Protein backbone atom coordinates (compact mmCIF):
# COMPACT_ATOMS: atom_id res chain seq x y z
CA UNK A 1 0.00 0.00 0.00
CA UNK A 2 2.78 2.38 0.98
CA UNK A 3 4.63 1.46 -2.22
CA UNK A 4 1.61 2.54 -4.22
CA UNK A 5 1.51 5.78 -2.28
CA UNK A 6 5.18 6.43 -2.89
CA UNK A 7 4.79 5.59 -6.59
CA UNK A 8 1.77 7.86 -6.81
CA UNK A 9 3.59 10.73 -5.16
CA UNK A 10 6.62 10.18 -7.34
CA UNK A 11 4.54 10.17 -10.51
CA UNK A 12 2.72 13.27 -9.32
CA UNK A 13 6.10 14.85 -8.63
CA UNK A 14 7.39 13.95 -12.09
CA UNK A 15 4.16 15.16 -13.69
CA UNK A 16 4.37 18.37 -11.71
CA UNK A 17 7.97 18.86 -12.78
CA UNK A 18 7.12 18.48 -16.45
CA UNK A 19 4.04 20.64 -16.07
CA UNK A 20 6.26 23.35 -14.60
CA UNK A 21 8.69 23.02 -17.52
CA UNK A 22 5.84 23.33 -20.03
CA UNK A 23 4.70 26.42 -18.14
CA UNK A 24 8.23 27.73 -18.45
CA UNK A 25 8.03 27.23 -22.20
CA UNK A 26 4.82 29.26 -22.22
CA UNK A 27 6.90 32.35 -21.52
CA UNK A 28 7.92 32.17 -25.19
CA UNK A 29 4.34 32.77 -26.23
CA UNK A 30 4.11 35.81 -23.99
CA UNK A 31 7.35 37.21 -25.42
CA UNK A 32 6.42 36.58 -29.03
CA UNK A 33 2.74 37.49 -28.95
CA UNK A 34 2.34 39.92 -26.04
CA UNK A 35 5.79 41.36 -25.80
CA UNK A 36 4.66 44.90 -24.98
CA UNK A 37 2.84 43.61 -21.89
CA UNK A 38 5.83 41.42 -21.06
CA UNK A 39 8.19 44.40 -21.17
CA UNK A 40 5.77 46.52 -19.16
CA UNK A 41 5.72 43.81 -16.50
CA UNK A 42 9.53 43.80 -16.46
CA UNK A 43 9.46 47.59 -16.13
CA UNK A 44 7.05 47.33 -13.20
CA UNK A 45 9.02 44.45 -11.70
CA UNK A 46 6.10 42.02 -11.89
CA UNK A 47 7.20 38.40 -11.41
CA UNK A 48 10.79 39.11 -12.42
CA UNK A 49 12.17 36.03 -10.70
CA UNK A 50 9.70 33.69 -12.36
CA UNK A 51 10.29 35.31 -15.73
CA UNK A 52 14.07 35.01 -15.45
CA UNK A 53 13.78 31.38 -14.38
CA UNK A 54 11.37 30.50 -17.17
CA UNK A 55 13.55 32.19 -19.78
CA UNK A 56 16.68 30.50 -18.44
CA UNK A 57 15.04 27.06 -18.57
CA UNK A 58 13.62 27.63 -22.05
CA UNK A 59 16.76 29.05 -23.57
CA UNK A 60 19.06 26.40 -22.04
CA UNK A 61 16.75 23.66 -23.29
CA UNK A 62 16.49 25.02 -26.83
CA UNK A 63 20.17 25.89 -27.12
CA UNK A 64 21.16 22.44 -25.87
CA UNK A 65 19.02 20.85 -28.57
CA UNK A 66 20.45 23.06 -31.28
CA UNK A 67 23.98 22.41 -30.03
CA UNK A 68 23.35 18.67 -30.22
CA UNK A 69 22.20 19.08 -33.82
CA UNK A 70 25.40 20.97 -34.63
CA UNK A 71 27.67 18.37 -33.07
CA UNK A 72 25.88 15.46 -34.74
CA UNK A 73 27.86 16.16 -37.92
CA UNK A 74 30.99 14.87 -36.21
CA UNK A 75 30.24 12.28 -33.56
CA UNK A 76 27.96 11.43 -30.69
CA UNK A 77 30.50 12.84 -28.25
CA UNK A 78 30.63 16.06 -30.17
CA UNK A 79 26.82 16.21 -30.12
CA UNK A 80 26.79 15.84 -26.34
CA UNK A 81 29.64 18.31 -25.93
CA UNK A 82 28.02 20.95 -28.15
CA UNK A 83 24.70 20.39 -26.37
CA UNK A 84 26.39 21.53 -23.17
CA UNK A 85 28.68 24.16 -24.65
CA UNK A 86 26.13 26.16 -26.64
CA UNK A 87 23.97 27.16 -23.63
CA UNK A 88 27.22 27.77 -21.76
CA UNK A 89 28.35 30.13 -24.51
CA UNK A 90 25.23 32.30 -24.28
CA UNK A 91 25.05 32.31 -20.50
CA UNK A 92 28.75 33.05 -20.05
CA UNK A 93 28.48 35.94 -22.49
CA UNK A 94 25.44 37.20 -20.58
CA UNK A 95 27.35 37.07 -17.28
CA UNK A 96 30.37 38.80 -18.78
CA UNK A 97 28.45 41.59 -20.49
CA UNK A 98 25.41 42.40 -18.34
CA UNK A 99 27.26 44.48 -15.68
CA UNK A 100 28.54 46.79 -18.43
CA UNK A 101 25.06 47.46 -19.72
CA UNK A 102 23.69 47.95 -16.22
CA UNK A 103 26.32 50.41 -15.03
CA UNK A 104 26.33 52.43 -18.24
CA UNK A 105 22.55 52.66 -18.10
CA UNK A 106 22.73 53.84 -14.50
CA UNK A 107 25.37 56.36 -15.53
CA UNK A 108 22.96 57.85 -18.06
CA UNK A 109 19.99 58.15 -15.72
CA UNK A 110 18.37 54.72 -15.83
CA UNK A 111 16.47 53.53 -12.79
CA UNK A 112 16.43 49.87 -13.82
CA UNK A 113 17.79 47.19 -11.54
CA UNK A 114 20.39 44.63 -12.60
CA UNK A 115 17.67 41.95 -12.56
CA UNK A 116 15.62 43.97 -15.01
CA UNK A 117 18.65 44.31 -17.27
CA UNK A 118 19.33 40.59 -17.05
CA UNK A 119 15.67 39.87 -17.78
CA UNK A 120 15.85 42.03 -20.90
CA UNK A 121 19.04 40.38 -22.17
CA UNK A 122 17.55 36.98 -21.39
CA UNK A 123 14.51 37.96 -23.46
CA UNK A 124 16.82 38.50 -26.43
CA UNK A 125 18.60 35.19 -25.75
CA UNK A 126 15.29 33.35 -25.40
CA UNK A 127 14.01 34.75 -28.69
CA UNK A 128 17.30 33.80 -30.34
CA UNK A 129 17.13 30.29 -28.90
CA UNK A 130 13.56 29.63 -29.95
CA UNK A 131 14.34 30.85 -33.47
CA UNK A 132 17.39 28.57 -33.53
CA UNK A 133 15.17 25.67 -32.51
CA UNK A 134 12.81 26.51 -35.34
CA UNK A 135 15.80 26.25 -37.73
CA UNK A 136 16.86 22.88 -36.28
CA UNK A 137 14.84 20.68 -38.70
CA UNK A 138 16.36 22.60 -41.63
CA UNK A 139 19.85 22.10 -40.22
CA UNK A 140 19.17 18.37 -39.79
CA UNK A 141 17.99 18.24 -43.40
CA UNK A 142 21.24 19.81 -44.64
CA UNK A 143 23.19 17.59 -42.26
CA UNK A 144 21.77 14.53 -43.98
CA UNK A 145 21.97 15.77 -47.55
CA UNK A 146 25.25 17.68 -47.80
CA UNK A 147 28.78 16.87 -46.80
CA UNK A 148 30.57 20.19 -47.09
CA UNK A 149 31.96 21.13 -43.71
CA UNK A 150 32.62 24.75 -44.65
CA UNK A 151 29.15 25.13 -46.14
CA UNK A 152 27.60 23.70 -43.00
CA UNK A 153 29.66 26.00 -40.83
CA UNK A 154 28.79 29.12 -42.80
CA UNK A 155 25.13 28.16 -42.95
CA UNK A 156 25.08 27.97 -39.17
CA UNK A 157 26.89 31.26 -38.81
CA UNK A 158 24.20 32.82 -41.02
CA UNK A 159 21.42 31.21 -38.98
CA UNK A 160 22.97 32.45 -35.75
CA UNK A 161 23.30 35.93 -37.20
CA UNK A 162 19.66 36.08 -38.31
CA UNK A 163 18.35 34.81 -34.98
CA UNK A 164 20.64 37.10 -33.01
CA UNK A 165 19.56 40.16 -35.01
CA UNK A 166 15.91 39.43 -34.23
CA UNK A 167 16.85 38.93 -30.58
CA UNK A 168 18.67 42.27 -30.54
CA UNK A 169 15.60 44.04 -31.92
CA UNK A 170 13.57 42.54 -29.09
CA UNK A 171 16.20 43.81 -26.67
CA UNK A 172 16.05 47.30 -28.20
CA UNK A 173 12.29 47.40 -27.99
CA UNK A 174 12.29 46.08 -24.46
CA UNK A 175 14.93 48.55 -23.41
CA UNK A 176 12.86 51.38 -24.89
CA UNK A 177 9.78 50.36 -22.94
CA UNK A 178 11.49 49.46 -19.67
CA UNK A 179 13.63 52.60 -19.57
CA UNK A 180 10.70 54.88 -20.43
CA UNK A 181 10.24 55.60 -16.73
CA UNK A 182 13.46 57.64 -16.61
CA UNK A 183 13.24 60.32 -19.30
CA UNK A 184 16.59 61.88 -18.58
CA UNK A 185 19.34 60.60 -20.88
CA UNK A 186 17.02 58.37 -22.89
CA UNK A 187 18.89 59.12 -26.13
CA UNK A 188 22.26 58.42 -24.54
CA UNK A 189 20.96 55.15 -23.12
CA UNK A 190 19.75 54.12 -26.57
CA UNK A 191 23.23 54.80 -27.96
CA UNK A 192 24.78 52.90 -25.06
CA UNK A 193 22.55 49.94 -25.79
CA UNK A 194 23.58 49.74 -29.45
CA UNK A 195 27.25 50.10 -28.54
CA UNK A 196 26.77 47.41 -25.95
CA UNK A 197 25.24 45.14 -28.60
CA UNK A 198 28.44 45.50 -30.64
CA UNK A 199 30.56 44.68 -27.59
CA UNK A 200 28.28 41.73 -26.83
CA UNK A 201 28.73 40.42 -30.37
CA UNK A 202 32.52 40.66 -30.09
CA UNK A 203 32.57 38.98 -26.68
CA UNK A 204 30.16 36.31 -27.91
CA UNK A 205 32.23 35.52 -30.99
CA UNK A 206 35.44 35.33 -28.97
CA UNK A 207 33.68 33.14 -26.39
CA UNK A 208 32.49 30.86 -29.19
CA UNK A 209 36.04 30.68 -30.53
CA UNK A 210 37.33 29.79 -27.07
CA UNK A 211 34.71 27.08 -26.53
CA UNK A 212 35.04 25.60 -30.02
CA UNK A 213 34.56 23.11 -31.62
CA UNK A 214 30.78 23.11 -31.87
CA UNK A 215 30.58 21.32 -35.19
CA UNK A 216 33.88 19.47 -35.30
CA UNK A 217 36.12 19.30 -38.36
CA UNK A 218 35.50 15.96 -40.09
CA UNK A 219 39.17 15.07 -40.33
CA UNK A 220 39.93 15.66 -36.68
CA UNK A 221 39.36 13.62 -33.60
CA UNK A 222 36.77 14.66 -31.05
CA UNK A 223 38.09 17.35 -28.75
CA UNK A 224 36.25 18.99 -25.89
CA UNK A 225 38.16 22.22 -26.47
CA UNK A 226 40.57 22.98 -29.24
CA UNK A 227 43.88 24.79 -28.89
CA UNK A 228 43.64 28.55 -29.02
CA UNK A 229 44.96 30.20 -32.13
CA UNK A 230 43.54 32.29 -34.94
CA UNK A 231 40.23 33.96 -34.43
CA UNK A 232 36.60 33.68 -35.37
CA UNK A 233 36.67 36.24 -38.16
CA UNK A 234 39.73 34.96 -40.04
CA UNK A 235 38.25 31.48 -39.86
CA UNK A 236 34.97 32.66 -41.34
CA UNK A 237 36.78 34.52 -44.13
CA UNK A 238 38.84 31.39 -44.84
CA UNK A 239 35.66 29.32 -45.03
CA UNK A 240 34.06 31.80 -47.41
CA UNK A 241 37.25 31.68 -49.49
CA UNK A 242 37.08 27.91 -49.70
CA UNK A 243 33.39 27.88 -50.56
CA UNK A 244 34.06 30.33 -53.38
CA UNK A 245 36.99 28.23 -54.54
CA UNK A 246 39.78 30.71 -53.83
CA UNK A 247 41.78 28.40 -51.60
CA UNK A 248 41.58 25.29 -49.45
CA UNK A 249 41.74 25.41 -45.68
CA UNK A 250 44.85 23.42 -44.76
Binding footprint of other proteins on the chain (CB under 8 A):
21-29, 32-34, 36-37, 39-40, 58, 61-62, 65-66, 68-69, 72-76, 79, 130, 133-134, 136-137, 140, 143-150, 173, 176-180, 217-221, 242, 248-250
Q: Which is nearer to other proteins, 136 or 203 (CB)?
A: 136
Quick check: 38 and 31 in contact, CB under 8 A? yes
Quick check: 124 and 168 in contact, CB under 8 A? yes
What is the CB neighbour count within 10 angstroms for residue 12? 11
Q: Which is nearer to other proteins, 15 or 36 (CB)?
A: 36
Q: Which is nearer to other proteins, 22 or 228 (CB)?
A: 22
Distance CA 52, CA 15 (A): 22
Residue whose C-alpha is closest to residue 63's, from 141, 200, 159, 143? 159
Quick check: 31 and 127 in contact, CB under 8 A? yes
DSSP 218: T
Distance CA 120, CA 170 (A): 9
- The angle at the Cα of 223, spanning 220 to 224, to the nearest 5 degrees, equals 155
Q: Which is nearer to other proteins, 133 or 192 (CB)?
A: 133
Q: How far is the CB of 40 from other proteins (least distance, A)?
A: 6
DSSP 180: G
Residue whose C-alpha is closest to residue 96's, from 225, 210, 213? 210
**Buried b or exposed e, range 67-92, using 16+ CB within 10 angstroms:** bbbbbbbbeeebbbbbbbbbbbbbbb
Amino acid sequence: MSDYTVTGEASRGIRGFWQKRVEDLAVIETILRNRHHFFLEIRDGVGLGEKVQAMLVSSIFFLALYGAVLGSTHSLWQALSSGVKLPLLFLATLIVCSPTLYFFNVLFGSNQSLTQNVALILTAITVTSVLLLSFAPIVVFFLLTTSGYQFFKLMNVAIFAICAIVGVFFLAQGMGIVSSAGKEGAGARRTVMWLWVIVYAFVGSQMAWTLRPFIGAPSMEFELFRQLGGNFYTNIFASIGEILGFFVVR
